Amino acid sequence: MVRVGLIGIGFMGWIHSLAYRRSTKAQLVAFASQDPKKRAGDWRGIQGNFGPPGEQVSVEDLQVFDSLEAMVKSPDIDAIDICLPPHLHASAAILAMEHDKDVFIEKPLALTIDDCQRVQHTAQRLERLALVAHVLPYMGPFAYATELVQSGRFGRPVGGYFKRVISDPTWIPDFYDPEKVGGPLVDLHVHDLHWIQLLFGKPRSFEAVGRMRGNVAKYVHVLYSFQDPDIAVASSSGVIDGPARPFTHAFELHLESASLHFNFAAFSDGSETMPLKIITHDGQLIRPELPSADEIDAFRMEIDDMADSICSRQPAPRLDVQHAAGAVELALQIQEQLQSR
């Protein structure tokens, strides 16, 4: 059982804590917070865009610290789970690794390419694992598609279209601040940029069009080019000012002998889903039955992968720091291309 200390008791820290309750491979044994109410277990003010609201939690069996600096000194912790605001990810990860802890970093890895590289170089130098929590490939249809590609059942992936759009996330402070959260590309589209790399490898180049909010991209369409000229990939992501539809994501993934289709949208009066379908080149329409699960279960699966990675000293591909760093790099490069126009 991997023993974990959690830093960052906000929305994502709360969701991670719920996932640890379901894990049989990792145990939450400690957390750190500067807030005395949270140290006493009062997490009732936490709320996000999915999952249950925070509640009063028992801290009786947990080590409780008022800082990361204090928590990393504990000999009873194997890994630090970092759910701090994005601009603090790199410094927290480096501090933890310097105290002989592996790290599990909520996405994005960091807000700059330099910080991504600092985390990678520290992990290599100290022989620690830096794992990045990109949960999308563990979620229902995305997990199924990822595993289907890995199986090779319908051949290799040759293209697709990926969509992730939200209304203005007023519940995220500093969302458009490039030095604190990063904006739609780094905080939102980074999910798809990470998954695109898992499926196809890193793009060789891209062409982007979109709208800006100051120096931060608000909404983009992107076409990607790969070393293999037969691979055709596009994506759309960002913020549309339509609060009646707060969130939607979708994909169409083309394999050599089949295509996969999925679309989900949340609306103010409910949600609508076009469930995952596989359309084969020989005329079959397959509607796979996915395991019954909720959002927390996806986080439990990535936590289990984190624990397996630490025990084997081999990073799970979906948590690999190079893919996470590449996603941030792509997001920033797309933004730079739009800024230059």
pLDDT digit string, tens, across residues 30-48: 999 999 999 999 999 888 7
| Residues linked to residue 65 through DSSP beta bridges, in sequence order | 32
Whether the bond into 157 is cis, omega within 30 of 0: no
Strand residue runs (E) in the chain: 2-7, 26-32, 63-65, 79-82, 102-106, 130-133, 157-166, 205-213, 216-225, 232-239, 247-255, 258-267, 270-280, 285-286
- What pLDDT, on a 0 to 100 scale, did the predictor assign at position 236? 98
Detail the DSSP E strand segments found in 270-324: 270-280, 285-286
Cα–Cα distances in angstroms (integers) from residue 15 to residues 11, 49, 180, 210, 310, in the given order: 6, 11, 21, 32, 21
Residue 52 is predicted with a pLDDT of: 86
Q: Which CATH class name applies to 2-133+300-319?
A: alpha beta
- Predicted pLDDT of residue 295: 87
Domain topology for 136-292+325-339: Dihydrodipicolinate Reductase; domain 2 (3.30.360)
User: Residue ranges per domain, the chain?
Assistant: 2-133+300-319, 136-292+325-339
8 Å CB contact between 145 and 300: no
Predicted local confidence at residue 171, as pLDDT: 77
pLDDT for 4 equals 98
Q: Residue 292: its pLDDT value, please?
A: 78
Tell how strand 102-106 and strand 130-133 pair up. parallel
**Distance, CA of 247 to CA of 89 (rounded, Å):** 25
Dihedral sign for Cα atoms in the order 126, 327, 291, 296: positive
Query: pLDDT (tens digit, 9 = 90+) per residue, 198-256?
Result: 999 999 999 999 999 999 999 999 999 999 999 999 999 999 999 999 999 999 999 99
Question: Which portions of the chain are predicted below pLDDT 50?
Answer: none
Unique residue bearing structure tokens 């055709």 = 232
Residue 50, pLDDT score: 80
CB 9 within 8 A of CB 34: no
